[in-house]
Amino acid sequence: MSWQSLHIRVDSKAAEPLSDALLEAGALSVSLEDADAGTDDETPLFGEPDHPSAELWPHSIAVALLDEAADAAALLAEAAARAGIPVPGEWTVGAVAEQDWVRLTQSQFDPIPISSRLWIVPTWHDAPDGSAINLKLDPGLAFGTGSHPTTRLCLRWLDEHIAGGETVLDYGCGSGILAIAAARLGATRVDGVDIDAQAVTSARDNASRNGVAAWFGLPGELASGEYDVLVANILTNPLKGLAPLLTGRVRHGGRLVLSGILAEQAEDVMAVYRPAFEFDPPATDEGWVRLSGTRR
């Protein structure tokens, strides 16, 4: 059996009504994506204390999965009528072939060497180096498997700088990979927060799988206090908006590690944090940048 994938460009006001209407008209599933992702117009969505969630992206793409025999044009017309909007002018249809999705997904994730002593190993693989620190992590609902450059950049920093005994906060923890790595590398207290409750659940599960004692929760549940190291692998706009909050969580002399930043955005982010931090030279990987600095 195969399916069709219907991609529709839509503005922010119509995105959610159209998504609901597509499901009512017979779509099997619908997801929304940022049509400007990877460009200067990318608009990350985030919600934090004192920084409420923004509306959807100005330009979205609704991706609807349809039966192979479905009339995509007719279904879209019906959905637009249900949503009370004109039929979008920009849409395409592609085929989605039948596949062994579990085997296909697993084939895309091999063990990832971060350094000579630190590896990310999916649970269905044997560890290439049994004497190394092997983090057991599978792709799931939360971001952070070690395959993305921003995650690797943060992991390399932790591998090079965690000496043992540090307190670490992973802000925007996703899968919990950075917090778990810090704990395995010797940090004595590790906390992680994320605005996504599913990510918090995933991080807790991954910590248990790796035998790590770490606390994970929503931002509003985090106890007060400062940390020796704060790592935040998010995106540029949230990092800039959260600067006062994140700065207040790093002790004087403590270390800040920021990622999820494109190379051309690095100076803008440093400008926001520079009054409180002395920055090291940026590190790059495939066009992404990691910034690290010491609290003045």
pLDDT over 50 (residue 33): yes
Position 145 in a domain: yes
Which pLDDT value is given to residue 122?
Answer: 86
Residues 91, 145 share a domain? no
pLDDT in tens, 147-165: 899 999 999 999 999 999 9
pLDDT in tens, 176-215: 999 999 999 999 999 999 999 999 999 999 999 999 999 9
pLDDT over 70 (residue 129): yes
Residues 262, 136 share a domain? yes
Position 103 in a domain: no
Write down the mean pLDDT value for the chain. Answer: 90
Q: How far apart are CA 290 and CA 260, in angstroms?
A: 7
Q: Which of 118, 277, 82 is nearest to 210 (CA)?
A: 118
Residues 177, 158 share a domain? yes
pLDDT over 50 (residue 50): no
Mean pLDDT of 252-262: 97
Which pLDDT value is given to residue 45?
Answer: 58
More confident residue, 269 or 36: 269
Mean pLDDT of 10-27: 94
Residues 131, 24 share a domain? no
Residue 261: give the domain boundaries.
Answer: 108-295
Which pLDDT value is given to residue 146?
Answer: 79
pLDDT over 50 (residue 49): no
Residues 54, 142 share a domain? no
109-128 per-residue burial string, b: 16 or more CB within 10 A, e: under 16? bebbbbeeebbbbbeebeee
As a whole-number percent, the residues of the chain with pLDDT over 70 amount to 90
pLDDT over 70 (residue 293): yes
More confident residue, 83 or 55: 83
pLDDT band at 104 (very low <50, low <70, confident <90, very high): low
Residues 285, 215 share a domain? yes
In this structure, of 83-97, 107-121, 210-224, 249-263, the range with the lowest mean pLDDT score is 107-121
pLDDT band at 144 (very low <50, low <70, confident <90, very high): confident
- Total domains, the chain: 2
pLDDT over 90 (residue 103): no
List the CATH number of the domain containing 119.
Answer: 3.40.50.150
Domain boundary among 74, 98, 122: 98
Which pLDDT value is given to residue 141?
Answer: 55
Residues 141, 44 share a domain? no
Residues 157, 281 share a domain? yes
pLDDT band at 138 (very low <50, low <70, confident <90, very high): confident
Domain boundary among 63, 98, 133: 98
Task: Please name the residue that has the structure tokens 């969630």.
Answer: 53
Mean pLDDT of 118-134: 91
| Torsion sign, CA atoms 251, 146, 94, 30 | negative
Position 44 in a domain: yes
228-264 per-residue burial string, b: 16 or more CB within 10 A, e: under 16? bbbbbbbbbbbbbbbbeebbebbeeebbbbbbbbbee
- CA torsion 169-172-176-180 (nearest 10°) is -20
Residues 278, 178 share a domain? yes
More confident residue, 11 or 245: 245
